[in-house]
Amino acid sequence: MKKVLILTVTAGNGHNACSAAMKKKLEELGGMEVKIVDLLKAYSTKLNVWVADGGYNLAVSKLPKIYDAFFNKYLNAPPKKRYSSPSQGVALSCVEGLLKEILEFQPDVIYASHFYGAMAITDLKLAYNLPFVSFSAALDYVLTPFWESGVGVDYFVIPNDDFIDYSLYKGYRREQLLPIGLPVNGRTLEVMDKAKAREILKLDKDDFTVMIMFGGGHWNGGFKIFKQTVKALDGCEAQIIMINGKNEAGFKKVAAFKPPRGIKVLNVGFTTEVPTYMSAADVILNKFGGTSVTEMINKGLPMLITEKLVAQEKYNLVYFKAKGAALSFKNGKTLKENLLKLMNRKDLREQMTKNSAPFKRDAIGEFAKIIVAQPKADYSGILSENIDFKQVKKRVECAVKAADKTEKRK
């Protein structure tokens, strides 16, 4: 039985969700023992755990301009010291614990769904001869800062061929790149007839149906978007599916809201049946994180996206607006204009679905098969070393500095 170690990081929920989806897919294929480890929670400090999740949420919700400035500073300029990026300290804090995990579990494959994992793997491979095959994967339609410090992985999954040149610029080699798409929950690829989904959800089979997904996560404007949507549809026969996630306050606000005649509201809390709700919708209003985008595309949904986004989400939006697969809104006025346009023009909805079709791909299925095809790893060499774990971090730091000097001479 082959072993796979998946390294995730809690920084929002996207990385954890993709890690869980990959574990499920690999186990479905059979013959695989799969273990997920939250890299920072397992091996780093409480401060680093908070910075990755709580600090990130604080930055994108309360300090978006500062977050965007930081993001853009490092986006198109690889650091002068590739391996010693501003995030290197976090990765280095994990190397001792991660090496112990690797030698104990002896994985044949390691998959890092976050750049911290890719960086930690890169750092360890600079210092030790480790036999596993390693993968990482971009989870946005932009190569976010610091992926370039994880170039030591064997393979890097990217969205499509559009991102090859940029990945090369960031320091990856062509043979490392797998342009197969974002490995998200495969359930969004399951085909469910719209009429069947509406029957299951007890929705009208003919009314224009809008799905809103702003309830959970760091974004606190969900109820405002909901009210703007109701106002935009006032006087129409329409249905709104409001997904609140774990936002109980938002759920209660929607429950207490009295919509005008002709508008039906299906108020939903946390659910694992998002693909069913998507199947029932004509249009979706959402934020624009990479995993969310991919799931919407897999369902063939015309996308109406808020422009109140942070850095990587903005780049995702620019990319798909250029492809003719998404519309956006700045405020209640532009939301109404574009929503009514989508409601009244079935041809536009169909064209947007057609424009997004080239990006619909079973990336997680393809990726899982690539992982399964990797050889068994032989740990006899590394296990024969007398490793002093108290010196692991120091040894890795020295290897990183040496790699930076070599990089500088090139």
Q: How far apart are the first and last CA of the chain?
A: 42
pLDDT of residue 400: 86
Place of tokens 């959800």: 201
What is the rounded distance in angstroms from the CA atom of residue 27 to the CA atom of residue 111? 15
What is the rounded distance in angstroms from the CA atom of residue 221 to the CA atom of residue 308? 9
Nearest to 350 by CA among 308, 300, 295, 285: 300
What is the rounded distance in angstroms from the CA atom of residue 404 to the CA atom of residue 410? 10
- Torsion 19-24-29-34 (CA) sign: positive
- Are 75 and 142 spatial neighbours (Cβ–Cβ below 8 Å)? yes
Query: 258: which 2 tokens?
Result: 């009295």
Count Cβ atoms within 10 A of the Cβ of residue 22 and give its class: 0-12 exposed, 13-18 middle, 19 or more buried. buried
- What helix, strand, coil percent values describe the chain, rounded to 5? 55, 15, 30
| Beta strand extents in 65-176 (DSSP E only) | 109-112, 133-137, 155-158
Would residue 217 be called left, alpha or beta, if left means φ above 0 and alpha means ψ between -120 and 50 degrees? left
Place of tokens 């104990």: 104
| pLDDT string in tens for the chain (410-residue length) | 899 999 999 987 789 989 999 999 999 998 899 999 999 999 998 988 888 888 877 888 788 898 899 888 888 766 555 566 678 889 999 999 999 999 999 999 999 999 999 999 999 999 999 999 999 999 999 888 888 888 899 999 999 999 999 999 888 999 999 999 999 888 888 888 999 999 999 999 999 999 999 755 544 578 899 999 999 999 999 999 999 988 888 899 999 999 999 999 999 998 989 999 999 999 999 888 898 899 999 999 999 999 888 899 999 999 999 999 999 999 999 999 999 999 999 999 999 999 999 999 999 999 999 999 999 999 999 988 888 898 999 999 888 888 877 765 55
pLDDT of residue 218: 45
What is the rounded distance in angstroms from the CA atom of residue 154 to the CA atom of residue 176? 6
- Torsion 365-355-205-246 (CA) sign: positive
Domains and CATH numbers, the chain: 2-181+363-409 (3.40.50.2300), 187-359 (3.40.50.2000)
